[in-house]
Amino acid sequence: MQLLDYRPDECESLFHEKTEGALRLLSSLALPDPVKHASPPSGFRLRAEFRVWHDENELHYVMFPPGDSRSPRVIDDFPIVGPRITEAMAPLRARLQRSTELRRKLFQVEFLSTLSGELLITLIYHRPLDESWRAQALELAEALSCKIIGRSRKQKLVLDTDWVEEVIEVGGQHYRYRQPEQCFTQPNGIINQKMMTWLLAQCVTTDTDLLELYCGIGNFTLPLSQRFRNALATELSKPATAAARWNAEQNKTSNIELARLSAEEMTAAMAGERPFRRLAHLKRALNQYQFETLLVDPPRAGLDEATRALAGNFTRVLYISCSPETLARDLATLSATHEIESLAFFDQFPYTHHLESGVVLRKKAV
């Protein structure tokens, strides 16, 4: 993580500046009035990582200015992180500093927390970890009421589990999520809940099927699946796919199928270009689904050319974007076949230039 220009009094105006910039990028398109979802100015981030700086007998959390890895800035508190991280930062630093075993060649500390109050701390070292480390780390986990993982080169020691469990309420229903360490999860829990609620409101109950690309751990899959006959969700990451499968089972959903494919591979499969063994477990063949709605949540690179072409065949496209630039490019292509029905902006990353957008597109009448 890099240093943050924390200006809580300007949080709302900074969000407005970002949305105005996005609207300028999209100005060539016919746009509905956007809905804007602001973030709380503090306490919103559920994950954080800090380098550890050793100064003789002192140990500090540090961050670095952009592009400058030689000028550490000591972080005594970090007001954007959630309460579980805030509560743990000072006592963790004090205990690490007192323990020769826990602090020796400690390189980085990572925090993963949840709205439901769980906390996982990963300690990363430039040395092998042994039973002496494990014994003191267990005491640390008990003292801080958290989970601990130790990492070093080719080594990972998990003292409890390597995941936290989140509980999120969407549309009056609670969903349980296993969120593994080192899998992507939405960092702003409050805004994530707003995104999920907004997406659910865009979908009416139908007897058609949903195809989702880039599903991750099933963040959007679970609530949206209740609106469709079946949902087929794909994700390339093996740990994320495993977590999505666990999440679907634990939430007792019976209409979700998961496949470990990239968006490009799923596009090739839909086009019948070649078969994939990773689809062999599906209860029905792809041609037996009645896909009318596509949900995509791509990385900042946006959609590749083939996936944009695939999206052009769907009646409705739900697009969650983390890059206004690539969103503008993709919508410019999709505008040939679709019109924009709904637009929303979400301040997932306050005090940065990053902006999350939600777009609903409907196929134009022939």
118, 212, 235, 356: which is the annotated catalytic residue? Answer: 356
211 and 148 both lie in a single domain: no
pLDDT at residue 3, rounded to an integer: 65
What interhelical angle do 131-144 and 83-98 show, nearest 10? 140
As a whole number, the mean pLDDT across the chain is: 95
356 is catalytic: yes
Please count the structural domains in the chain: 2
Is the pLDDT confidence value at 168 over 70? yes
223, 173 Cβ separation under 8 angstroms: yes
- 206-243 pLDDT tens trace: 999 999 999 999 999 999 999 999 999 999 999 999 99
27 and 129 both lie in a single domain: no
Q: Residue 36: inside a domain, yes or no?
A: yes
Contacts of 256 (CB under 8 A, 6+ apart): 218, 221, 222, 225, 230, 231, 233, 248
Domain containing residue 223: CATH number: 3.40.50.150
Q: Residue 324: inside a domain, yes or no?
A: yes
- 80-92 pLDDT tens trace: 999 999 999 999 9
31, 357 Cβ separation under 8 angstroms: no
20 and 158 both lie in a single domain: no
pLDDT at residue 1, rounded to an integer: 55
Q: Closest Cα partner for 257 from 224, 227, 234?
A: 234
Is the pLDDT confidence value at 18 over 70? yes
**Residue 223: how many CB atoms within 10 A of its CB?**
22
Q: Residue 175: inside a domain, yes or no?
A: no
215 and 329 both lie in a single domain: yes
322 is catalytic: yes
The Cα–Cα gap between 154 and 364 comes to 53
131, 169, 322, 339: which is the annotated catalytic residue? Answer: 322
Domain holding 247, by residue range, is 8-41+182-363
57 and 92 both lie in a single domain: yes
- 123-146 pLDDT tens trace: 999 999 999 999 999 999 999 999
The Cα–Cα gap between 332 and 336 comes to 7
Specify which residues 321 forms β-bridges with. 357
Domain containing residue 141: CATH number: 2.40.50.1070
Go through the chain and tell me how many residues it has.
366
pLDDT at residue 2, rounded to an integer: 56
Question: One-letter amino acid identity for 25?
Answer: L
Q: Residue 262: inside a domain, yes or no?
A: yes
- 303-350 pLDDT tens trace: 999 999 999 999 999 999 999 999 999 999 999 999 999 999 999 999
pLDDT at residue 70, rounded to an integer: 82
> Can you say whether the dihedral through the CA atoms of 327, 333, 338, 339 is positive or negative?
positive
13 and 126 both lie in a single domain: no
Q: What is the mean pLDDT of residues 84-102?
A: 97
Vertex 51 angle, CA 59 and 72, to 5°: 80
The Cα–Cα gap between 188 and 45 comes to 5
Contacts of 144 (CB under 8 A, 6+ apart): 88, 91, 92, 95, 119, 121
Q: Which of 104, 136, 163 is the last residue of a domain?
A: 163
Long-range contacts of 51-56 (CB under 8 A, 24+ apart): 51/107, 51/108, 52/96, 52/106, 52/107, 52/108, 52/109, 54/103, 54/106
Is the pLDDT confidence value at 67 over 90? no
Strands (E), the chain: 35-37, 47-55, 58-63, 73-74, 106-113, 119-125, 147-152, 155-158, 163-170, 173-180, 209-213, 230-234, 256-259, 291-296, 316-321, 338-346, 356-363
10 Å CB burial of residue 30 (0-12, 13-18, 19+) is exposed
Q: What is the mean pLDDT of residues 61-73?
A: 87
Q: Residue 173: inside a domain, yes or no?
A: no
Q: Residue 351: inside a domain, yes or no?
A: yes
191 and 332 both lie in a single domain: yes
40, 46 Cβ separation under 8 angstroms: no
Q: Residue 177: inside a domain, yes or no?
A: no
Element (H, E) at 242: helix 238-250
140 and 187 both lie in a single domain: no
Percent of the chain with pLDDT over 70: 99
The Cα–Cα gap between 20 and 40 comes to 19
The Cα–Cα gap between 309 and 321 comes to 17
- Residue 61 confidence class, pLDDT cut points 50, 70, 90: very high
111 and 186 both lie in a single domain: no
Q: Residue 169: inside a domain, yes or no?
A: no
